[in-house]
Chains A and B, each alone.
Chain A
Amino acid sequence: GAVVSQHPSWVICKSGTSVKIECRSLDFQATTMFWYRQFPKQSLMLMATSNEGSKATYEQGVEKDKFLINHASLTLSTLTVTSAHPEDSSFYICSALAGLGYTDTQYFGPGTRLTVL
């Protein structure tokens, strides 16, 4: 199947700093990528949909100025958590769509564990 990588796999930062997470589709081009957040023992919560070359679409309740998303190429999307606080500590997972439309399939990255002290 298609491979999606994420970097870094984990990060620890101080409160108030910004953290950038990269999501790459390694063997396919992805016009659409998604960013999720997952708290312990909970389901995946969609934060935003990222389309290459256009602005991301954020889910209700997700602050777009705090979670900056850039999808500059067909293989790379980045999520920047600005001015991170302890409540932002979570498991962040990206996914990328392989294929197009009705027949496409969504593949997930390995996730990034963010801990804000």
Chain B
Amino acid sequence: GENVEQHPSTLSVQEGDSAVIKCTYSDSASNYFPWYKQELGKRPQLIIDIRSNVGEKKDQRIAVTLNKTAKHFSLHITETQPEDSAVYFCAATARGVNAGGTSYGKLTFGQGTILTVHP
């Protein structure tokens, strides 16, 4: 099955700096890579995702890059703000539709990164 490794486990930056979180995956069939932000006691929130047909995707201060050859993908947050402080999880899966017409492809999550942005 899929195995996702995430680094670093903790990341501390000053407000305004950039933050980068990296993940590697093992299954070359994986084609969908979402990133989730989770605040304490709350649900994971999808912040950005990338599919295997593109190498980079950007949404304002957040960007994700994907290197399929090396099987790694990264989250980049620029101009960090204190409200960016949270736990970030990467995930990977091979998405598709089976013969019965239902989706397959369970997410495998990384271990999480605790991001702290100091004012």
Contact = CB atoms under 8 A, between A and B. Distances in A.
15 contacts: A1-B46, A31-B101, A32-B104, A34-B107, A43-B111, A44-B89, A44-B109, A101-B103, A102-B51, A102-B95, A104-B103, A105-B46, A105-B49, A106-B46, A106-B107
A101 B97 contact: yes
B103 A32 contact: yes
A30 to B, nearest CB: 9
Given A100-B97, A102-B31, A93 B103 contact: no
A49 B111 contact: no
Interface stretch (B13-21, B36-44, B58-66): B36-44
A23 B48 CA distance: 23
A113 interface: yes
Interface of A: 1, 31-32, 34, 42-44, 46, 49, 51-52, 91, 93, 97, 99-102, 104-111, 113
B96 interface: yes
A105 B44 CA distance: 13
